[in-house]
Amino acid sequence: MIILWTDTLIYLLVIAISLAIFFIGKQPQMRRPIKKIGASKTGMISLVVLIFFVIIGLLDSVHFKSTESRTHEIISLLDYWAKPLREQGEKTYSAPFSTQLYSKETMTADDGTTQWGYPRLKFGGAHLQNPEAEWKMDVFTKALIGFGKGAGLFALLFIFFWITLHKNHEHFFANPTSKAVWFVLFTLISKTYMLIDLSMYYHVFGTDKVGEDVFYQAIKSIRTGLVIGSLTTMIMLPLAIVFGIMAGFFRGWVDDVIQYIYTTLNSIPSVLLIAASILMVQVYMSNHAEDFNSLIVRSDMRLLFLCLILGVTSWTGLCRMLRAETLKLREMEYVQAAQALGVRRGAILIRHILPNVMHIVLISVVLDFSGLVLAEAVLSYINIGVDPTTYSWGNMINGARLEMARDPVVWWSLLASFIFMFSLVLAANLFADTVRNAFDPRRAD
């Protein structure tokens, strides 16, 4: 097993989040907002979708050296399972579910005659004898079979949970929210299975310029999106919390210095700061090529660095909010009472200030997530995002954009990245709304 830098951080993040959930769950005053989230239909549905994405992302974060290929390239668990998708490429563009290439070329038949036309794909629909006649029926039956398998899997799962959770029937099965959650789970599982089944025989989202399966690209991009959304937050949180609270609590010169730092950082247009830093990293890496021998290590470093830069440019907003809130809190009577009781300043910070700003932190974390996923696409577009060899929706869009001028249009890369990115961002946005409604004290009932 090989652990990349981002993998380490992802594992750390998973541990941190589990601990956070554990501790938050233990605190009674947190129960009301958590219950509120649990009761919200959109909140729970979006959470299920998010978790689905996270699972894929986590599968893609377990890396090891492939023993099969000669090159010993580094692959992930997801790559391992998606082997057909990864390896069975075509020559160039092909449309979704197509059995032929997208462009005409000279074909040499068995008898030696040449012909100008659309050649059959090496992989997509190769099992069909007569594509024109069988194609429709075959896609339909394959889809149905996949759907059936997925539904069967879901049924097994459902029965398992039905038996284990039966005591809390009302809680897990009977109310409208849980019904909706089960329904979403059903669609997710069966549709995924359907896609997996179909992708064994076809390129469900077509292939790109070099013949790589677009469905595979889109799935691989999930990890990139999640990493950017979550690692950036992890980098920016400590900065924002420490600086924000210190500035608000100690005021005076501490406040002046911190304000100076964040105004300075804020005043630099963030795109330019990112661009400058990425340029520097690029030059650094090309000058120290020996440290970054493997392509995947190289692109991983760049991804990590992008998160770092994004984190550095995005902590100022939360910092300002926390500073303002701390300024308010330090004048609260309970803080003054603690002061009068002779409680040390450090203890006041940790016991009285920090727990009372955590809801702001939580809300801003979930709100920032979707923005960062969207930002990745834009940054990749201007070549200051992730490495061009990294799978990301931004790179997919960037590659496909140039083909918009073609006639007929090559649209499937765009469609695939749109569907995946949109569903992740929408789920994140909806979940963020639920969290904000639940934790914002002004919206409490």
Contact positions toward other proteins, by CB under 8 A? 27-29, 260-261, 263-269, 271-273, 275-277, 279-280, 283-284, 287, 332-334, 336-344, 347, 351-352, 355-356, 370, 374, 377-378, 381-384, 393-394, 397, 401, 404, 409, 414, 418, 421-422, 425-426, 429-430, 433
Least Cβ distance, residue 15 to other proteins (angstroms): 24
* Nearest to other proteins of 118, 381 (CB atom): 381
* Nearest to other proteins of 153, 275 (CB atom): 275
Q: Residue 13: exposed, middle, or buried by beta-carbon count in 10 A (0-12, 13-18, 19+)?
A: middle
Least Cβ distance, residue 317 to other proteins (angstroms): 13
Least Cβ distance, residue 95 to other proteins (angstroms): 17
Q: In which element (H, E) is residue 75 found?
A: strand 74-76
Alpha-carbon distance values, 336 to 146, 254, 328, 329, 352 (Å)? 64, 20, 12, 10, 10
DSSP per residue, 337-384: HHHHTT--HHHHIIIIIHHHHHHHHHHHHHHHHHHHHHHHHHHHHTT-
DSSP state of 124: T
Query: Tokens 């440019």 map to which residue?
Result: 313
* Nearest to other proteins of 45, 421 (CB atom): 421
Copy the structure tokens of residue 53: 């994405």
* Nearest to other proteins of 28, 176 (CB atom): 28
Residue type for position 54: V
Least Cβ distance, residue 137 to other proteins (angstroms): 33
Least Cβ distance, residue 59 to other proteins (angstroms): 24
Q: Is residue 197 within 8 Å of 145, Cβ to Cβ?
A: yes
Copy the structure tokens of residue 359: 């809801």
Least Cβ distance, residue 233 to other proteins (angstroms): 18
* Nearest to other proteins of 1, 405 (CB atom): 405
Alpha-carbon distance values, 318 to 237, 315, 321, 350 (Å)? 8, 6, 5, 18
* Nearest to other proteins of 144, 283 (CB atom): 283
